[in-house]
Structure 1
């Protein structure tokens, strides 16, 4: 355990760890190729996951288990995230991927004085077209999902599905149909390669986010608060070089952010949408 960490024994009565956000981790772990160790009756999430060694060789980058040497690029056909383009491995102290910037210029000309909607294709990062005019928009087929109405060509993410879908004329509400729905891929290994290498913790915004918005890493001010492992989970989390038991928390520099060892092996964090909540 790093000497920079101050361990605080938490004697107060500790309630069972709030698991409402932890199922964000199901998609997170699946994207990293991890396997669930067991299921519990008290939550919708496994007790813990077993993950492959993400960086067997620190001198190279890894994506989906494939090593990439310094200056080598991931073939675009192998990338599962449509917004990750021309990604090249860079090894300078720690491995990371550098990708081309993708700017989705979703513009709307207010002078047109007519209703417009942006349309998408299933594997596109940005909108691929626009339908304008009251009559043209009204003629489009619609999809009713989670109490909302989407026009043909619009994208949406069905609640609790971890999928992104496109409204089509053939939409029948079956999100497992790969012709108009696909699994959301966050590009975690690509965009946070160096954070995974350092055993940092993913940060999720609120309780319903699918992809982490950032990672937080240990600093000299980080403190571990020992909690109670009421679920008696034997697996542990790793945060930097520090090992935590289920129920332990760790303080981080980011405001309005709570980080807990809930579903090992990663510590996971939730940032409040509003600090006044």
Structure 2
């Protein structure tokens, strides 16, 4: 089991630092860094960013809320533009009754979520950023709709598309849909995991994200520091080798160099410092 988790971590390391990528491409930022507004740093001699700087995490006021680079005072609601990014969590408002201040949001259960039957005579249609279906088309009216193709699958106008190889994006089938690209496609949108909406308390406590496998976009849980945490040092001798402090991860009272892991009794989860300054964890798909 540990071998499979280790393989997953190697795959993630390859995907992040681009050692397994084509020469002309760099991978996107890890999702938690992207949503926390961290700045990618590409040190001399590196083809792609090899670490991130997140100074705003220590500069944030505990009395305010933060989302998508914007600051909200207590009692203020998300702007229309920011709310659109998390349409399935409407009415988000900054609440300073918690420490630190955090957002409270409503949650939507769309009617179509409860329709588990596969009625091929009808489809639900959505607006580009809408959470619930805006309408339903059935029968012969479906033949009047534009057709889109992605990953060998057929979609009709108004349907949402979730690309197999770009888990952090969804697309919206429209007339003249271009399936040759995802990033930069006017009908494709990056998924916002809502880390600042739902997990900022974990982040401020120094917890790190746990991802499911290497291709799932958003964290599934968080691993927080514990008193008995220990670092497994890999490939270096502490007493001899000098480590660049910028290439280290911090977790609780521990300092980890790139390649170091956290000791854990849970054989299904592997936590490692791959791209500083935060380690993160991978849960094996076999658990």
TM-score (norm 1): 0.77
Residues 65, 165 of structure 1: alpha-carbon distance in 2 compared, 3 angstrom cutoff: closer
The 2-side partners of 1:136 and 1:245 are apart by 60
Q: Which residue of 2 aligns with 1:88?
A: 93
The 2-side partners of 1:156 and 1:46 are apart by 30
The 1-side partners of 2:15 and 2:280 are apart by 9
Alignment counterpart, residue 41 of structure 2, candidates 33, 37, 41: 37
Per-residue deviation, 1:20: 4.4
Matched, 1:116 2:119: no
Conservation of the 8 A alpha-carbon contact between 2:155 and 2:173: yes
User: Please, which runs of 5 or more residues in structure 1 have no aligned partner?
Assistant: 1-13
User: 1:42-68 CA deviation, whole Å, 9 max, x = no partner?
Assistant: 99x631112232242234332234443
User: 1:80-120 CA deviation, whole Å, 9 max, x = no partner?
Assistant: 3222322233343333222112222324385x976222222
The 2-side partners of 1:73 and 1:126 are apart by 21
The 2-side partners of 1:50 and 1:211 are apart by 20
Residues 39-118 of structure 1 aligned to structure 2 (within 5 Å) = 46-56=49-59, 57-79=61-83, 80-91=85-96, 92-106=98-112, 107-108=114-115, 115-118=121-124
Q: Which residue of 2 aligns with 1:248?
A: 260
Look up the SS of the partner of 2:86 in the other structure: coil
In the alignment of these two chains, the number of paired residues is 256
User: Please, which runs of 5 or more residues in structure 2 have no aligned partner?
Assistant: 1-5, 17-26, 237-242
Matched, 1:227 2:234: yes
Q: Which residue of 1 aligns with 2:155?
A: 150
Matched, 1:212 2:211: no
The 2-side partners of 1:147 and 1:113 are apart by 21
Does 28-37 or 245-254 show the bigger shift? 245-254
The 2-side partners of 1:252 and 1:127 are apart by 43
The 2-side partners of 1:274 and 1:40 are apart by 39
Conservation of the 8 A alpha-carbon contact between 2:62 and 2:99: no
Residues 252, 191 of structure 1: alpha-carbon distance in 2 compared, 3 angstrom cutoff: farther
Residues 99, 109 of structure 1: alpha-carbon distance in 2 compared, 3 angstrom cutoff: closer
The 1-side partners of 2:212 and 2:154 are apart by 25
Alignment counterpart, residue 185 of structure 2, candidates 177, 186, 190: 177
Residues 183, 242 of structure 1: alpha-carbon distance in 2 compared, 3 angstrom cutoff: same
The 1-side partners of 2:92 and 2:69 are apart by 16
The 1-side partners of 2:65 and 2:278 are apart by 20
Per-residue deviation, 1:262: 0.5
